[in-house]
Structures are given as C-alpha cells and as structure tokens.
C-alpha cells in the first residue's frame, strides 16, 4: 500500500501517486477511481485534499467527472495536458502551427539524417512511390512526416508530431487543393528530403525539410513565415565563434612513468589570426598556441613524439599544420583536411612532410561532410594514410556499415565523443567496439575533459576507457588534445590527462603499447634508440 510522506503539499503528492498508478495501468481507461470517502479513509486525509488532487488530474487530462457516477480514467490518447484549440479559417492559428512545425519537424529531419535505420529509409522510399499516384496525397504525406520523426530516434518528437497531425486539420483544405495542382513539387521535395537523410547529412536534411514546409505554408497563404528569407537556411553566415581559454601554462610532470618513444597522438597549433586568418564559418576562436609552446609541454610530460591535427578553424587551409611539420621534423606526424579534388602531387608533398591521415570533423564546422568519407578514403588509400573521424557515436547509427568497409584504417577521436551517461552499453558505442575488436578501427583514449560532467579524474568516463582497453588494446592511442579549445568545462592540466592512462590500466605493458607501440605502427615512426635526444629542438622558431 502506498503511504504519503510528510511534510508535503498532500494534494500534490496524492495527485502524483494516482497519476503514477494510472500511467502504470493500475487504473485502466474507463476505470472508476475510488470515491472521495475511500481515498480519505485509505490515506488519512481530508476531503479538501482529495478534491484538490482530483482537480489536478482533471487539468492534466487524465480523468473526468461524470455527474452522479464518480471520477473515471480517460483513455491514454486523451492524456494530454497540452492542447491546440483552433477554429476553421483561423489564419493566425495556422501561422502559429506552421511556426511550431518548422521548429519541431526541421529538427527531426536533422536527427533522422544522423540516426535513421535502414528499415526507416526503406519505408520512406515505399511511401514516396505511393505518393506519385495516390489520389489522397495528404494521408501519405503525414505518414512520411511521422516516419521522419520516428527515424529521429526520439520518441517524444514522434509522439508530438503524431499529436500535431491529429490536431492540425486547419491546413487540410488548403493543401488538398495546393498539392493537387503542384504534385510534382511535393514529390520533388520529398525526393530531396529522403536523399539528404539517406546521405546522412543533417544540415542538408534541415534545409530540404525547411524548404518543403515553407512551400506548404505558401500553399495555405502563409507568407513571410518567421521573417526568414528562403536563402537563410542555406546561408548560415552569422558566425558565433567565442574566444577559447588558453591552456594551462604550468603542466606538471606526470606520476605515471613515461617510456621512451611515448607519443601524443592529437594536438593542434594555432597562429595569431592576423598572421593566418581563420575561416569565418567556424565554431570557436582559439588563442595563439605555437609549436614552441607545445614543445615545452612535451618536454615537461616526457613525450618523444606528437601528431599535429588540422583544426576545424582553418578549414582546408593546411599551411599552419604543414609548417609545424616542417619545423618539428621527424618527431612529428600530421593529419590534414583536404577536398576530394586535392591533386595527388599536393598529397605527395604533404606525405614527404609527415602527413599520414585525413581528418573528417562531423562535430564542428570544418567544410567536410559525412558524405565525403568514401571519396576521401579512396583518394588517400594509395598513400597508406588513414581517416581520422570526430563524431558522436550516440548519433551515428550505422557506424559498422559506414566505416567497417573502407579501404583505409579509421581512427575515432575522443572515445567516440559519447556522453558518459549513456554508458558503454549504448548501441553506437557497442558498434564501435565491434569494429575495434575486429581491428577495423583505432580509438583515441582522449577527450575525457570534453565529455565528462565531472572534474579530474573524470570518474564517469572511466567505464568507457576501461571497456575500450578490455576490447582491443592493440588499437588504442593516447592523446592530450592540447591546447584544449572550445572546452565546456574547466581547463585541465596536461600532466593530469597523461596520468589518466595509469588510472585506467595499471599494466605497464598495456601502457607501453598505447603510448609507444601503437602510434609507431599507425603513424610510421622509426624506432628510437637509447641515448637518442628526444628533448625540445632549440632551433624551432616561434610560429
């Protein structure tokens, strides 16, 4: 028997308890609730408390009073505390509904491009075929809308859209006439939406769905919706690029014994913007962070080698990264960002400087899209390079299909950038683990400070790191991600980040493999002999 706690507002607690029982099915639809007298006796409360609780349930759409008969539970479809009340011909209401749909459905299309499953794509394509010759296109259209929402992987979105389609009957008359006269346009819109979702391009899916809704509103006589020009979605040129904090200037020496040949597999160099401009379409603005600055960190941590990675703020302008390789010498390797049409002679020049991979950044604006993966893989395969991919595995549903059959090695940044609250059992992380176990990709043990909700030692990330180490330590790399741009939390000390490896595994052989053996294999470093100098090169100029 449920007991009520004190002190509380008893009417709220009683309402909450009854609501939980209704939603759990203890009181099915059509069931009569206990009478006021029975509830008073059961919980030892007054009639006023009971009446206030019942009033709350009625306002939530869970129950209704029937005169002389009592209070009865409504059907689940009626359990709506949110209501859209419209009247025929109300254009203001119609405008508001389209504004709501723009926000909800455009977001759903973007999520669908990242998360859709193959069966959902098949369903959309089948509906598209039916749309071409069906005399009632509105019904098919609504099914397609709901299929996109389902493909978003967010049941709240799909449920809300189903509710919207049930509530929004205002547009039906307008759209029936409009689409009968413009069926070819309707089909074209859906062809482009489905193509963007199939391609896995969330930005393109947003744009195509946005244009489709604007045409739908136009068909209902709604113009200038939200004041957006038709080109605005495709020309998002108002950059928001906040200045990032500088890295910790006093890295401490790690407690973990660092073996000769240890490599930092992910760091960046940034010149002052006046010296080398950033792309205007960026997500952040980094502070100047030179090679000389980094080599002081490198020396303090006891690292012998490093991999400089092209950051998103430079787009495909690799000048800073290549100059870093030229000045850093054999101790450095590089990962660049290129266009699919970059000439082979340019790639060979990069290879001679130490480039061994191409980066595809799917989290921050970089000018490279998920659709470029296969093209770039084929482009760099003859050079023996790899693809380095920054993504959130919780929003990339087909990792195995997309990344498991490429002609080059694949490296995943920052443990798949998985929010740690999902845990290692998340399907996207599990898919990554399967590829890791088969040796089809590499994963960087880095980015804990990015994805954790905690401070060092980032306890919530530890299950992810330990699962990766248990799965296949022969395909794992350690990286600092210096100078830690665009961090959501506190700036870490780089010595603390290196010590994380010792907290995740106390096996010296595994530590050596992650720090020395694996990077040497992937990036092609030559063996370092005892006594060979590995400190900072005093001849390196300030960049």
**452 or 433, greater pLDDT:** 433
Please give the average per-residue pLDDT across 411-427, as a whole number. 92
Q: Please report the beta strands in 117-250, taking only residues with DSSP state E, as ranges in sequence order.
A: none
State the alpha helices, DSSP H only, in 315-455.
319-328, 344-353, 373-380, 399-403, 427-437, 448-451
For CA atoms 464, 266, 356, 376, the dihedral sign is positive
- How does pLDDT run across 251-268, given as a tens digit for each residue? 999 999 999 999 999 999
Q: Which of 56-60, 319-323, 384-388, 534-538 has the lowest mean pLDDT?
A: 534-538
In whole angstroms, how far apart are CA 12 and each of 16, 49, 55, 328?
6, 9, 10, 67
Q: Are 328 and 304 in contact (CB under 8 A)?
A: no
| Active site members | 481
Beta bridge partners of 253: none
- How does pLDDT run across 2-29, given as a tens digit for each residue? 444 333 467 778 888 898 898 888 999 8
Instruction: Give the per-residue pLDDT at 169.
Output: 53
75-79, 83-87, 307-311: range with highest mean pLDDT: 307-311
How many Å apart are CA 237 and CA 415, to the nearest integer? 31
For residues 443-452, one letter each, b for 16 or more C-beta atoms within 10 angstroms of the residue's C-beta and e for the rest, the string is bbbbbbbbbb
**324 or 97, greater pLDDT:** 324
Instruction: Give the per-residue pLDDT at 499.
Output: 98
DSSP code string of 499-540: HHHHHH---HHHHHIIIIIHHHHHHTPPPPPTT---S--TTP
Instruction: Give the per-residue pLDDT at 86.
Output: 59
The fraction of the chain above a pLDDT of 90, given in percent, is: 53
C-alpha angle with apex 265: 261 to 267, nearest 5 degrees? Answer: 120
Q: How many CB atoms lie within 10 A of CB 537?
A: 14
Q: Are 131 and 137 in contact (CB under 8 A)?
A: yes
Instruction: Give the per-residue pLDDT at 296.
Output: 97
Instruction: Give the per-residue pLDDT at 61.
Output: 75
The pTM of the whole model exceeds 0.85: no
**Mean pLDDT, all residues of the chain:** 85
Please give the average per-residue pLDDT across 331-357, as a whole number. 97
The count of C-alpha atoms lying within 13 angstroms of the C-alpha of 192, restricted to the half-sphere facing its C-beta, is 17
Instruction: Give the per-residue pLDDT at 8.
Output: 41
20-34, 47-61, 288-302: range with highest mean pLDDT: 288-302
Nearest to 365 by CA among 295, 260, 300, 279: 279
How many Å apart are CA 111 and CA 113, to the nearest integer? 5
In whole angstroms, how far apart are CA 447 and each of 462, 494, 508?
12, 12, 22
DSSP code string of 227-249: G--TTTTT-------PBPPPPPS
56-70, 128-142, 210-224, 429-443: range with highest mean pLDDT: 429-443
C-alpha angle with apex 496: 477 to 482, nearest 5 degrees? Answer: 60
Task: Tell me whether strands 70-73 and 63-66 are parallel, antiparallel or unpaired.
Answer: antiparallel
Instruction: Give the per-residue pLDDT at 167.
Output: 54
Cα separation of the two ends of the chain:
72
Return all residues near 474 (Cβ < 8 A) that are at least 6 apart. Answer: 439, 513, 518
Please give the average per-residue pLDDT across 78-102, as a whole number. 69
Residue 541, pLDDT above cutoff 50: no
């Amino acid at each position: 028997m449920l007991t009520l706690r004190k002190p509380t507002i008893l009417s709220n607690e009683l309402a909450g308890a009854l609501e939980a029982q209704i939603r759990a099915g203890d009181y099915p639809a059509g069931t009569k609730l206990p009478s006021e007298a029975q509830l008073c006796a059961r919980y030892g409360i007054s009639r006023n408390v009971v009446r206030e609780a019942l009033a709350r349930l009625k306002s939530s759409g869970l129950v209704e009073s029937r005169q002389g008969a009592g209070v009865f539970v409504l059907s689940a479809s009626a359990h709506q505390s949110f209501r859209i009340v419209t009247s025929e011909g109300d254009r203001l209401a119609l405008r508001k509904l389209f504004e709501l749909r723009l926000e909800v459905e455009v977001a759903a299309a973007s999520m669908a491009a990242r998360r859709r499953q193959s069966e959902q794509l098949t369903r959309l394509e089948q509906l598209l075929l039916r749309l071409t010759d069906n005399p009632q296109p509105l019904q098919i259209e609504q099914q397609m809308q709901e299929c996109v929402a389902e493909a978003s992987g967010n049941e709240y979105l799909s449920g809300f859209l189903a509710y919207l389609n049930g509530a929004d009957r205002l547009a039906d008359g307008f759209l029936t006439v409009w689409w009968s006269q413009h069926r070819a346009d309707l089909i074209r819109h859906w062809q482009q939406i489905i193509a963007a979702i199939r391609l896995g391009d969330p930005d393109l899916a947003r744009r195509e769905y946005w244009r489709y809704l604007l045409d739908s509103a136009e068909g209902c006589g709604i113009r200038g919706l939200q004041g957006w020009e038709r080109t605005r979605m495709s020309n998002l040129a108002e950059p928001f690029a906040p200045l990032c904090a500088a890295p910790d200037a006093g890295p401490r020496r790690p407690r973990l014994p660092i073996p000769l040949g240890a490599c930092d597999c992910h760091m960046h160099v940034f010149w002052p913007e006046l010296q080398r401009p950033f792309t205007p379409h960026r997500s952040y603005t980094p502070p100047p962070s030179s090679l000389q600055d980094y080599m002081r960190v490198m020396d303090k941590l006891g690292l012998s080698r490093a991999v400089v990675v092209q950051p998103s703020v430079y787009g495909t302008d690799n000048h800073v990264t290549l100059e870093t390789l030229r000045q850093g010498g054999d101790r450095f390797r590089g990962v660049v960002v290129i266009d699919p049409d970059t000439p082979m002679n340019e790639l060979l020049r990069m290879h001679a400087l130490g480039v061994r991979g191409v980066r595809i950044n799917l989290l921050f604006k970089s000018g490279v899209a998920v659709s470029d993966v296969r093209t770039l893989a084929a482009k760099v395969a003859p050079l023996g390079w790899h693809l380095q991919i920054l993504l959130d595995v919780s929003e990339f549903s087909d990792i195995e299909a997309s990344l498991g059959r490429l002609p080059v090695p694949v490296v995943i940044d920052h443990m798949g950038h998985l929010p740690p609250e999902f845990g290692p059992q998340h399907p996207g992380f599990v898919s990554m683990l399967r590829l890791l176990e088969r040796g089809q990709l590499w994963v960087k043990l880095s980015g804990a400070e990015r994805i954790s909700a905690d401070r060092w030692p980032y306890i919530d990330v530890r299950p992810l790191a330990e699962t990766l180490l248990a799965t296949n330590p022969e395909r794992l790399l350690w990286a600092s991600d210096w100078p830690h741009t665009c961090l959501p939390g506190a700036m870490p000390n780089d010595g603390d980040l290196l010590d994380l490896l010792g907290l995740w595994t106390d096996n010296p052989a595994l530590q050596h493999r992650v720090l020395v053996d694996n990077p040497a294999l992937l990036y092609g470093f030559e063996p370092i002999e005892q006594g060979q100098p590995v400190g900072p090169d005093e001849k390196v100029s300030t960049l």
